[in-house]
Amino acid sequence: MATDYDAPRRDEVDLGEDSLEELKARRADSQSGAVDVDEVEVAESFELPGADLADEELTVKVLPMQTDEFRCSRCFLVHHRSQLATERNGELICRECA
């Protein structure tokens, strides 16, 4: 059974005073959580204060691969030559994938 460690603690005297109906109602309330919540819908309605980016245009400057860089043949990321682990049959492999 899940325990809410953030809930205020109760004395043993208080625990003995709970009626059976109250305990059943509390148990039903704790199990009626929203299971089928659409995370995308919740995220769309969430807005940070002062973060109205509707008029902003995002631009990123993309640089071509430099002479001291290589593209890993397994993860397809561009790494610096210092990250080169092996070269097999002309395929360059980074340290993370090796």
Sorted by where each begins, the domain ranges of the chain are: 12-45
pTM assigned to the model:
0.41
Beta carbons of 84 and 70 less than 8 angstroms apart? yes
Q: What tens digit of pLDDT does each residue of 76-97 get?
A: 999 999 999 999 889 999 999 9
Q: What tens digit of pLDDT does each residue of 18-34 get?
A: 677 777 777 766 555 55
Tell me the DSSP string of 46-86: ---TT---TT-----PPPPPPTTEEE-TTT--EEEGGGEEE
Lowest-pLDDT choice from 1-5, 7-11, 53-57, 79-83: 7-11
